[in-house]
Amino acid sequence: MLKKSLSLCLVLTMMFGLTACSMEDSKPDSDNPAPSTKETVTKKERPFTESKGLIKYFTIAEEKICLPETVGEYVKYLEKIGAKVELGDTGKTIDEAPELNAGGISSMVAFLKVYLDDAEDEWQWFGIRYENNTKKSLEVADCKVTQITLDYDTITEEENHHGINSIVFITNGDEEIPMNGKTTSHKHIFKMLGNPVQNTDGHLHYSDDQGYNYEMVTENQKGILTRMVITYPKD
């Protein structure tokens, strides 16, 4: 009887020990906590995607740039042609800028300032409008682009402003529209795109079946293309 009792006690002791070890093994290691989902999931960048509209994409210094969906995506492309990109004259990058409130929109004169060299003595501005169409505050980088403006401005009052002359728009017919001070409305634009929906004092308005609207601004006397404004489709 005594032997049976001792055997039973021994079995119970071993079972308790195994259970305790199992529980101990299942506890998270406080020194090496499991990585959170936020840390392990890498946000994927959208691959280069051509628009199905009148303008498929554009190039700057032969660097292909798609019509950006977000401010952050546009900045990543512009960083390839410049040393630094800031939000307007704030002196801040988009990552340093305050969040945009839910339902908020950018200023009508918002722009991205691209420094073309490390010395920051030459820069080009790129007009942009964006919105936060969500119900919570968003970082500027995540805001949705609603309009972009590209310029070739050879006359400016601002010191150190640099007019990039290597911007080329690629149409859905794979034709090139350079904005280099040589492309004119009658010799080039009308031949490639046909007559605009509206032509007011050198402002040529086009649209496409994707919902994009394009305003091509030409200098009145010679009809030289100096600005392209692309307004995105409304949801």
The answer for 177, left when phi > 0, alpha when psi is -120 to 50, beta otherwise, is beta
Position 110 pLDDT exceeds 90: yes
32 or 2: which leads in pLDDT: 32
Angle at 206 between CA 203 and CA 208, to 5 degrees: 165
Per-residue pLDDT at 65: 97
Closest CA relative to residue 211, chosen from 194, 187, 182, 235? 235
At 208, is the secondary structure helix, strand, or coil? coil
Quick check: 233 and 212 in contact, CB under 8 A?
A: yes
Identify which has the larger pLDDT, 233 or 118: 233
Q: How far apart are CA 78 and CA 85, in angstroms?
A: 7
> Is residue 201 within 8 Å of 191, Cβ to Cβ?
no
Question: What pLDDT does residue 45 have?
Answer: 72
Cβ distance 20 to 138 under 8 Å? no
Q: What is the pLDDT of residues 139-189, one digit of tens each?
A: 999 999 999 999 986 555 555 555 688 899 999 999 999 999 899 999 999
Residue identified by tokens 């690629």 is 170
Backbone angles phi, psi at 67, to 5 degrees: -70, 110
Distance, CA of 51 to CA of 228 (rounded, Å): 16
pLDDT computed for residue 19 by the predictor: 47
The CA distance from 36 to 38, in Å, is 5
- CA 197 to chain CA centroid, Å, is 29
The dihedral over CA atoms of 28, 29, 31, 34, expressed in degrees to the nearest 10, equals -60
**pLDDT one-digit tens code per residue, 59-107:** 999 999 999 999 999 999 999 999 899 999 899 999 999 999 999 999 9
| Per-residue pLDDT band at 223 (split at 50, 70, 90) | very high
Whether pLDDT at 17 is above 90 = no
| Mean pLDDT, rounded, for 127-148 | 96
Section 192-218 average pLDDT: 96
Indicate the helix (H) or strand (E) that contains 213. strand 213-218
